[in-house]
Amino acid sequence: MLISPELAKAINEQIGREFGASMQYLSIAGHFHVQKLALLAKLFFEQAEEEKIHAMKFVHYVLDTQGELHIPAISEPKPSFATAEEAVQAALTWEMDVTGQINQLMDLAVSQNDYLAQNFLQWFVDEQLEEVKKMDQLLSVVRRAGERNLLMVEAYLVHIDKAG
């Protein structure tokens, strides 16, 4: 076995959290879809898919390292949001939480001198900087625009997409 049972257990827990995040992002996408804010909805539908891909990376890592795969139950996502700011704040909070979770996984891999896991987890460490930055910027734009000017946020997303 190339992974310790302790690290496999911790990664299995992260798999559940990543699938849960995917579901929460679907819920956020639905919030914006209902409001006919197509680009905000698209952003969060894409984020939901990305979280699922992250979960699958963890699944494959556990299997490739001959660990035991045990995906935990996934909590029901928050079904609705009062405002766009609340929805985006939930996304930012989630990404900050995930950063801490990934750091804990890396700490465990380091403490076990598991260089394979450290190499694997480094991708997620780097990814979290991008994710936190993206949601923090979006929250800032949503706050400046205000609930009545969410079309300005949509215009911002068009601009960001063209610049990228």
Mean of the pLDDT values across residues 11-29? Answer: 98
Both structure tokens of 111 = 């403490």
Is pTM beyond 0.75 here?
yes
Mean of the pLDDT values across residues 118-134? Answer: 97
How confident is the model at residue 143, as a pLDDT?
Answer: 98
How confident is the model at residue 40, as a pLDDT?
Answer: 98
Distance of alpha carbon 96 from alpha carbon 76, whole angstroms: 20
Q: Could you tell me if 105 and 6 are in contact, meaning their C-beta atoms sit under 8 angstroms apart?
A: no
- All domains of the chain, ordered by start, with CATH? 5-163 (1.20.1260.10)
Q: Could you tell me if 65 and 10 are in contact, meaning their C-beta atoms sit under 8 angstroms apart?
A: no
Distance of alpha carbon 135 from alpha carbon 124, whole angstroms: 16
Q: Could you tell me if 48 and 104 are in contact, meaning their C-beta atoms sit under 8 angstroms apart?
A: no
